[in-house]
Chain A
Amino acid sequence: GAGVSQSPSNKVTEKGKDVELRCDPISGHTALYWYRQSLGQGLEFLIYFQGNSAPDKSGLPSDRFSAERTGGSVSTLTIQRTQQEDSAVYLCASRRGALYNSPLHFGNGTRLTVT
């Protein structure tokens, strides 16, 4: 596609429910990142996928968070038993290959509100 696509754009859920956030990276981009942006905070790294390598999960805040990437393309971020502190904008980004000197392209994010 033309850019990184994320769905849904907005999600309101009740505390304790599970949510799934989806990211479609730019076609051909093998590197995919998830970041979280909380109100008034900077971007917080969550997880990184590069090709078939084991993902870097070092940024996931708790074991309620998990992510997978199927077929090296679409990625899903799952948050189980959501808490109010999970409310944030979840941003997905992709990059062409492992070329760290290629720019990162971001989607418009999913705004998650936990009530």
Chain B
Amino acid sequence: KQEVTQIPAALSVPEGENLVLNCSFTDSAIYNLQWFRQDPGKGLTSLLLIQSSQREQTSGRLNASLDKSSGRSTLYIAASQPGDSATYLCAVTMTDSWGKLQFGAGTQVVVTP
């Protein structure tokens, strides 16, 4: 059974510092891995999607890497801003799961001015 873990559960950094968020998964038979952001009382917003054949994806200040063989992904957010405060979740799509996503519990990030 796939298990997705995100460490740490919470993180607080001063504005301007780089953020490093970790996601690990136990079964490497994934189709892709997706990072989401969730603001309080809102749904999830897709940030980056990395296909299993890719090593990384970049969008603006965000960069996500994927090491499928070791079951790890890292989301880097450069030069953090107070607006980056949110909960960040990773999710994997299994190759045999008809497109279902298996989510981690998330990392709650606070960026202080």
Which one of B11-19, B20-28, B44-52, B74-82 is at the A interface?
Answer: B44-52
* A107 interfacial by beta-carbon distance below 8 Å: yes
* A56 interfacial by beta-carbon distance below 8 Å: yes
With contacts A103-B49, A109-B43 known, is A48 near B103, CB below 8 A?
Answer: no
Taking CB atoms and an 8 Å cut-off, the chain B residues in 87-113 that contact chain A are: 89, 91, 93, 98-106
Q: Which residues of A contact B44 (CB under 8 A)?
A: 91, 93, 104, 106
B99–A31 CB distance below 8 A? yes
* A12 interfacial by beta-carbon distance below 8 Å: no
B contacts with A: majority SS: strand
Taking CB atoms and an 8 Å cut-off, the chain A residues in 1-46 that contact chain B are: 4, 6, 31, 33, 35, 41-43, 45
Q: Which residues of B contact A4 (CB under 8 A)?
A: 43
* B1 interfacial by beta-carbon distance below 8 Å: no
Q: Which residues of B contact A45 (CB under 8 A)?
A: 100-102
A98→B101 CA distance, assembly (Å)? 13
With contacts A42-B104, A101-B32, A103-B34 known, is A95 near B45, CB below 8 A?
Answer: no
A50–B98 CB distance below 8 A? yes
Q: CB within 8 Å of B: which residues of A?
A: 4, 6, 31, 33, 35, 41-43, 45, 48, 50, 56, 59, 91, 93, 95, 98, 100-109
